[in-house]
Structure 1
Amino acid sequence: MKKVGETTVPKTEDEFDAEDIKKVENYAKAINMLYYAVNPDDYRKISCCTTAKEMWDKLEVTYEGTDQVREAKIDFLTQEYEMFRMKEGEKIDDMFNRFSKIINDLHALKKTYANKDLVRKILRSLTPEWRSKADAIYESIGVSNVTIDGLREDNTRLARKAICDDLVDSLERMHIEDDEEDTLLYTNPQPQPEETPQVMVENEDHADEEEHEEAEEQEETELPIAWRTHKNHPLDQ
């Protein structure tokens, strides 16, 4: 732009100096970056804009709304932040994910909190079981020296330690129960049924078969005439 009398008019390309050329190049880069970053629907919304500032303002209204809409979102998220509490039985990682979403959404709307305030909020939001463990750690360190990421890491470590302790207790109980069962079986052995040896059974069966065959042979053998007591024996006829 240049002044002509009391008015300001755009410069022609022939009148551009090095600074003007640099500005034009930066404007072109910004426009291209926005074109590449948006989806097809948003591209149609900003394609009629002539400057990167116009494009940005239109996208800002699309995603964040007007000033009134933005203030309403901030109020809603602020209330969620103030009412935030850890749920009973909730995992540490799940709780931190919910909390991070709230503060990230507020940060996108230019509403931020100091790190020490975030740490205090988390500590106040923990269930009694976890708060007692966390307080024991940070009493010696101080809230001001702890970051929200460090707080998450330490509490996750505590959660893993608690899980490992529960697993060890379960294994110890299982070991004790197995020892008690083995002791009971040793002191009160169960009677075992007597088994007949297979060889004896086979020998008895074989002896019975031989006796049966001998009886059949005796019945079929013809007795001598002298041994017969009856005169009219069928064999003598």
Structure 2
Amino acid sequence: MVENPRAEWTNEDKNKANLDNVAKDILYKTMDKNMFSKIKTCSTAKDIWEKLTQLCEGNDQTKENKLAVAIQMFDNAKIKSGETMTEFDERFSNIICELIALGKIYTNREIALKVM
């Protein structure tokens, strides 16, 4: 971000400031009041993005905890009494998607064995 006094900005500084304002505007328009209240003190689009990433994804410890929970859900996945195969498949697919998002990839063989 531009650190010079505004009167000393070059055309490149003005362009960077304009791009930052456009990015902030886009980010502001995509969030609800609750999320906006958490980032309103951020001064640049980069600061907003980093804060949103931290809020939504969490820190490394949070990610590890989410991964541990998702692995446990995978390990304990069984069809419930009265659950249709379609419902189980949807629930199981959501677990697989969560694991992939957290960086844990199972082979097709491992997934097929688990479903069986």
Q: TM-score, normalised by structure 1?
A: 0.40
Change (3 A) 1:123 1:106: closer
> Secondary structure at 1:122's aligned position in 2?
helix
Look up the match of 2:69.
Answer: 76
**For residues 112 and 43 of structure 2, what CA distance do their matches in structure 1 show?**
50
**For residues 121 and 53 of structure 1, what CA distance do their matches in structure 2 show?**
40
Larger C-alpha radius of gyration, 1 or 2?
A: 1
**For residues 101 and 40 of structure 2, what CA distance do their matches in structure 1 show?**
25
Any unmatched runs of 5+ in structure 2? none
Look up the match of 1:104.
Answer: 97
Note if 1:37 corresponds to 2:26. Answer: no
Match of 2:47 among 42, 54, 62: 54
How many residues are paired up? 114
Match of 1:120 among 97, 109, 115: 109
CA contact (8 A) 2:99 2:105 kept: no
Aligned-pair identity in percent equals 30
Residue 76 of structure 1 aligns to which amino acid in structure 2?
Answer: V
Residue 11 of structure 2 aligns to which amino acid in structure 1?
Answer: F
CA contact (8 A) 2:77 2:92 kept: yes
Change (3 A) 1:53 1:126: same
Higher relative contact order (CA 8 A, sep 6+): 2
Change (3 A) 1:36 1:90: same
Matches within 5 A, 1:161-176: none
Matches within 5 A, 1:1-237: 10=4, 12-13=8-9, 15-17=10-12, 21=15, 23-87=16-80, 90-109=83-102, 111-113=103-105, 117=107, 119-127=108-116
Two-structure CA RMSD over aligned residues (Å): 2.9
CA contact (8 A) 1:86 1:125 kept: no
Change (3 A) 1:113 1:79: same
Change (3 A) 1:121 1:64: same
**For residues 33 and 100 of structure 1, what CA distance do their matches in structure 2 show?**
32
